[in-house]
Each structure stands twice: as structure tokens, then as C-alpha cells.
Structure 1
């Protein structure tokens, strides 16, 4: 079972999410919280698999709570939700440690699948937000390469990071490099530790910021 903590300052929203998730055979709502401070306390107490985190709440907001939860409880995944589609919220949430970002107007099916995806250790961003986010990178001046950010990586780890940033899964990377999937997994674990990122979403951001890849790379 995937245990979920629902965080939102509106009781009606929490009730709706609760009903959707509890109806799934593989999910259970472990608890609820109405602000960021309560979310951290409840996460410590319940140790959920996934936190469904609203970003805009009074007091400690969702981004602050996400950063605190992911730093203190690395086994807990956060799926950020917002009524706003602003690109900076997506980047801020991912930088804070969220494994995904979805708008609140998604369908129940998309919400459920998003929870499953982040619980598996993968990342999810709504397609319309991802498209705009990539567009932001395209329009922005290319950042100056920062070799120090990647200095600890081996040539093969740098190659794997490049393929991650181009959207390839571990299986696709293994096929591209003609190595075993287990070898790719080891490279991914090692490079994540070296560049100090939690998951693939943060790794993609790091690759762009370091100038390792640019939008439109084949």
C-alpha cells in the first residue's frame, strides 16, 4: 500500500483528495495537515510514502515544508500541487526536493498516477507545465558552464547525466550505452550523490544550470 499524507489549507480539497486516493486498491490516506508546520509534524509521525503538498498555504508554505520534509525524511516523496501554473513555482518546488508538480485541475486519474510515479522514485510534471518550462530555458540566455558542479563526475557519469537530461529512462540509457541496466543504476546513484541531487528532476535542472545540455539537443 502507498500511504499518503494530504496537505492543504482547504478542508473541502482535502476531503476530495482523500476520497479519490482511498478508493484505490493500492493506496491509503495516512493523515491530513492544513499548513506547512503541521505537515512536517505529521510527516515525522506518520512517515508516509508520498506527501500530496499544496504550495500556497498561510504560515509556512508548501515549498518551505517540502524542503524541510525532504531534508529530514529522505524516504518520503513529495508531489507538489498548485492552482497556479507559474514556471517559477515549478522550479522552486523541484529545487526544494519535490519529485513532481501537478496543477489542481488535473483529472482524478492523473492525480492517482502521479502519486504512483513519485512513489516509484520517478518524477512527474504536467505536460503543459513541462512544455512551458522547457520554453523558459529556450528563451533564457544560456547559463555559463560551471565545471566545478560536475568536476567529481567520471566521463561515463557525465554521459549518463546528459542522457537523463534528455529524458531517457535507465533502460533507454542502458540500450544507448550498451551496458547492463544495473550498471546504469549504479552510475545514477553515484552521480546523484556527487552533484547532491535527490532525483531525476533535480538532476535535469543541475545539468541545464551547469551548461551540460541545452534545449533542443538531440
Structure 2
């Protein structure tokens, strides 16, 4: 999804050269995207997020509501904190900058196809910095020593981009048990989202970018 024709055509041409990827549609805006998704049911949606935040978020919400299996990757011109936070909280699987390399976009698509999140390293650094600024007091009060070994393990997998179902499979535990561990560790650390958990894990050395 991109309102710039040349950008849209160039992106399609690039993706068609990648083995295992098939381009099923290219549209200019979120309204067309919703219609196109209904017709082609894509696995991955790469969308420009440089336009109005509200329309982009509405498109994400609509796609999530009607096609929950579709994975959304945001491709944007700048690492704007407001847009980044809005996109991540809306539940996108990938966040890539337009001045990143081709490798970054392909990595995001591959990760999303496996049900894993991908944030380009340049943006991931901003997530961590923002986390450190906003959560410093909580971090001092509720350190990693308050977590159980299992909660640390779950935290690392969340930070690596795995979803609850996949974590349950990896650890041979039930979905409900993983949800409980996730809820407990977020409560102990004063965190409210998977993005914040990932930032905490990176900031405290549990995950290396």
C-alpha cells in the first residue's frame, strides 16, 4: 500500500525477484487496501505509513478485524516516534524505514511469515531509548530479580518476536500457562505491551540486537 506510483511499482518489482514471495496486489490507499484484502486474502501486507496516522490505523484495525491472519509491515519515510508508537500498539508485525536496505524489508517479511515481529535495528534503538526514559523509575523499583526463571524465559521469547501460541509450543506448555507467565512478568515490571517487554529485555541485556 503506497500512494506513490513509482514507489509502489518499484516495491512490487523488488519483491517479485525474491524466491518464495508472490505479489497478489498493489494499491494506493487504505480504502483500496481493505477491498483488495477481501479479494486476495494476503498473508503479508506492506503498507506506507507516511500518510495520515488515523487512516492508517483505521486500515490496520479493519484488516485485523476481518483478516486476523494477515501480517502487517509498516514501511515509512522517517522514524517518527508518534507514528512508530501508534503502529506498534496497533499490532503491526514489522516496522521498516524506506531508507533501510532491501535486506531489512525482506527480513521483516520473512519474520512476519513465521509469525514473528521485526523492528528494523535503527528503530529498535529508539524503542529502547524511549523505554529507558519512560520506565526508568519502574525498572529501579522492579528489577529482573523479581522474575522467575520461567518468566525470564518467556520474556526472552516475547522479545524475539514469538507469539503466545509459538512460545507455548516451544516450551511445551499450555497457551493459558504462557498467558499467565506473560501477565505476571508484565505486572512485576510495570509494562503494558509486548513492545515494552522487548525493550526491557534489550535494555537489560537479555536480547542482543
TM-score with structure 1 setting the length: 0.70
Q: Do the aligned partners of residues 84 and 216 (structure 1) sit closer, same or farther apart at CA in structure 2, a change above 3 Å counting?
A: same
What's the CA shift string for 1:22-70, capped at 9, x where partnerless?
1122111100111111111111111001000111336963232112212
Secondary structure, in 3 states, of the residue corresponding to 2:100?
Answer: coil
Hey, what's the Cα distance between the residues in 2 that align with 1:189 and 1:49? 28
What's the CA shift string for 1:161-210, capped at 9, x where partnerless?
4333554869xxx9xxxx983515x4489529x96xxxxxx95236489x
Displacement of 1:91: 1.9
* Greater alpha carbon shift after TM alignment, 104-113 vs 158-167: 158-167
Equivalence for 1:26:
20
* Alignment equivalent of 1:181, drawn from 149, 154, 170: 170
Displacement of 1:128: 1.0
Show structure 2 runs of 5+ residues with no match: 140-147, 184-191
Contact 1:55 1:63 survives alignment (8 Å):
no
Q: Do the aligned partners of residues 120 and 141 (structure 1) sit closer, same or farther apart at CA in structure 2, a change above 3 Å counting?
A: closer
Hey, what's the Cα distance between the residues in 2 that align with 1:24 and 1:214? 31
Hey, what's the Cα distance between the residues in 1 that align with 2:58 and 2:134? 26
Displacement of 1:116: 1.3
Displacement of 1:143: 7.5
Alignment size in residue pairs: 186
* Alignment equivalent of 1:122, drawn from 116, 119, 122: 116
Show structure 1 runs of 5+ residues with no match: 1-6, 146-154, 196-201
Which of the two has greater helix per residue? 2
Equivalence for 2:5:
11
The 5 Å alignment of 1:14-163 reads 14-57=8-51, 61-142=55-136, 158-163=151-156
Which of the two has greater strand per residue? 1
Equivalence for 2:179:
191
Instruction: Give RMSD over aligned pairs.
Output: 3.5
What's the CA shift string for 1:92-147, capped at 9, x where partnerless?
112112101000112223222221111110111010110111011111245769xx
Hey, what's the Cα distance between the residues in 1 that align with 2:137 and 2:175? 25
